[in-house]
Amino acid sequence: MEILFKLFASFFKIGAFSFGGGYAMLPLIKKEIIEVHGWLTNAEFIDILAISEMTPGPIAINSATFLGYRVSGVVGSILATAAVVLPSFIVMSIITHFLSKFKDSQFTDWFFIGIRPIVLGLIASAAISVALDAFIDLKSVILGIVLFYIVTFKKLNPIYAIILAGLLGIILY
């Protein structure tokens, strides 16, 4: 029972403080799930990320469902998924209801101008923390750099990039 409560609280927090889309919430998920509660290892977390990239839906939802299942089965997955979207539901309903007031508020504008560079930093830190676990030898570093190049400049679809990397994994290791 206690673990379910912790699971709910963790994902509620993740949902409430995730600004700037999927990757920006990775450091917070990592903090809550790995550093605070130790529910997953780093490697498992990255594997779940990879699966999230290849399946439909927002990463936040995917990882909540996955981790919830890991921690306590189907009940856990329902609870974690509900918890991660609950803040969105509350905030969006309130905002939609009182739209005009929020829209014209200078304070809201300033707040979001202020978090923009923070969000970029969060995403960059996600790249580094994943790299620390993913780069285990020279082969993996080269693979990462080559894929970065193809995805960024040759516009390879991320799904194909992951499939390609998986095949290369079988060949290289």
| Residues 71 to 90 in contact with another protein, rule: CB under 8 A | 74, 77, 81, 84-85, 87-89
What is the rounded distance in angstroms from the CA atom of residue 49 to the CA atom of residue 54? Answer: 9
According to CB under 8 A, which residues from 28 to 47 bind another protein?
Answer: 28, 31, 35, 43-44, 46-47
Residue 42's nearest CA partner among 123, 130, 173, 121 is 130
Q: How far is the CB of 2 from another protein (least distance, A)?
A: 22
The three-class DSSP label of residue 82 is helix
Size of the site for another protein (CB under 8 A): 106
Residues within window 120-149 making contact with another protein, judged by CB under 8 A? 120-131, 133-136, 140-141, 143-145, 147-148
3 binds another protein (CB under 8 A): no
Q: Of 66, 72, 98, 101, which one interacts with another protein (CB under 8 A)?
A: 66
**Can residue 4 be called a binding residue for another protein (CB under 8 A)?**
no
**Which of 22, 33, 39, 83: binder of another protein (CB under 8 A)?**
22
Please, what is the minimum distance in Å from the beta carbon of residue 22 to another protein? 5
CA distances to 47, 69, 128, 143, 146 from 131, rounded to whole Å, are: 13, 25, 5, 12, 14
| Distant-in-sequence, close-in-space partners of 102: CB < 8 Å, separation ≥ 6 | 95, 108
DSSP class per residue in 18-41: --SSGGGGHHHHHIIIIIIS--S-
Closer residue to another protein (CB): 3 or 166: 166
